[in-house]
Amino acid sequence: MTPHALVIGEALVDVIADTAHPGGSPLNVAIGLVRLGVPTTLATRIGDDHHGSLIRAHLADSGVVLAAGSITAEPTSSAVAVVDPGSGAARYDFDVRWSIPAPEVTGATIVHAGSIAAFLAPGGDVVLDALARARTAGALISVDPNIRPALIGPRAEASVRAERLIGLSHLVKLSDEDADWLYPGWTHPRVLAHLRALGCRVAVITRGADGYTAADVHGVWSDGVGRAVDVVDTIGAGDSFMAGLLSAVFGELATRIIQSDLPPGGWRGPLRMGLEAAAITVQREGADPPRRDEIAAVGAR
């Protein structure tokens, strides 16, 4: 089977100003990966309805393969986004349902999961089981909890679930908002040290326009955003960062990460790829990850 990435998680429609746009953090990551040259399968749940048709067309347009069992007779999930006109930040009102059959992990060299789908019953346990199976099979496991407090239950229970996910991962990304919600009052270096102690190879906290702080076996470091951009909105920025990062480690680097064989500074290139992908995305409306030629064009300037 051809090596590929497997993304597990929700696909839904973001309703912005009464217009439906295909979205959901895992779907955005899958789209971003394919646009950056990584063959990708998405294991998700979408309805056989109008919104589901929008999502299927969006996936097909980018070349994402939809995993078997992803289409259901129930309605497609949705998130109504309200965008702050000053900052471009979005908040959401969700109608999400989540149950999927166990996805096939054979042939996946990277498996990414997280967001709402990793927390909601009954599908959340399916996600955990898939990550455990994929890790045993030798895949690089990537997790982005993408915390949505209104949907995932009490903090104590959600923290336990998040740490189970992180404990299965090689690579974990939190936003600064995720870190502050999961570990209130903790400094970012303390959070990163804790995540590393749970077992991941590298932990990253993204900080919006201020870049990221990360930690691996060699220590903790920070990097700011590479260039100033005009922000339209921030929808999908974290997902584009994740797709950029994963696209940069797909292949030989994934094996080296699993074996803890990256030298000091070995993460900086992949993380900068994530920053650039996010910088392109925030310059346009909605979750619209960049294509490989767009990133290459920026690098050539």
From residue 283, give the alpha-carbon distance in Å to each of 32, 121, 254.
15, 35, 30
pLDDT value for 225: 65
Is pTM beyond 0.85? Reply is yes
Query: Any idea which of 36-40, 67-71, 148-152, 160-164 has the lowest mean pLDDT?
Result: 148-152
CA 166 to chain CA centroid, Å, is 13
pLDDT value for 298: 59
Query: Rounded to whole angstroms, how far apart are CA atoms 227 and 115?
Result: 28
Q: Is 60 exceeded by the pLDDT of residue 301?
A: no
Residues sharing a CB contact under 8 Å with residue 192, sequence separation 6 or more, in sequence order: 203, 205, 213, 214, 215, 220
Question: What are 250-261's pLDDT values in tens digits?
Answer: 998 999 999 888
Question: What are 260-274's pLDDT values in tens digits?
Answer: 888 988 999 999 999
Q: What does DSSP say about strands 4-8 and 40-43: parallel, antiparallel, or unpaired?
A: parallel
Query: Which two tokens mark 283?
Result: 């310059």
- Superfamily (CATH) of domain 4-294: Ribokinase (3.40.1190.20)
pLDDT value for 300: 42
Domain spans, the chain: 4-294
Query: Rounded to whole angstroms, how far apart are CA atoms 45 and 71?
Result: 6
Between 287 and 44, residue with greater pLDDT: 44
What is the mean predicted confidence (pLDDT) over 104-132?
A: 95
What is the mean predicted confidence (pLDDT) over 108-131?
A: 95
3-state percent helix, strand, coil for the chain, nearest multiple of 5: 40, 25, 40
Query: Rounded to whole angstroms, how far apart are CA atoms 203 and 194?
Result: 9
Quick one: which of 147, 164, 162, 165 has its CA closest to 238?
147
pLDDT value for 73: 93
CB-based contact 196:203 (threshold 8 Å): yes
Question: What are 226-255's pLDDT values in tens digits?
Answer: 667 888 888 889 999 999 999 999 998 999
Band of residue 21 on the pLDDT scale cut at 50, 70, 90: confident
Query: Rounded to whole angstroms, how far apart are CA atoms 258 and 275?
Result: 23
**Helix ranges restricted to H, the chain:** 25-35, 50-62, 123-136, 155-167, 176-182, 188-198, 237-249, 252-258, 268-281, 292-299
* Percent of the chain clearing pLDDT 90 (strictly above): 73
CB-based contact 276:300 (threshold 8 Å): no
Q: Is 80 exceeded by the pLDDT of residue 82?
A: no
pLDDT value for 20: 86
Query: Rounded to whole angstroms, how far apart are CA atoms 191 and 166?
Result: 12
Query: Rounded to whole angstroms, how far apart are CA atoms 290 and 288?
Result: 7
Residues sharing a CB contact under 8 Å with residue 241, sequence separation 6 or more, in sequence order: 173, 206, 274, 275, 277, 278
Query: Any idea which of 57-66, 113-122, 215-224 has the lowest mean pLDDT?
Result: 215-224
> What letter does residue 208 receive in the DSSP assignment?
G
Quick one: which of 159, 156, 198 has its CA closest to 178?
159
Query: Rounded to whole angstroms, how far apart are CA atoms 187 and 266?
Result: 24
Question: What are 22-39's pLDDT values in tens digits?
Answer: 989 999 999 999 999 999
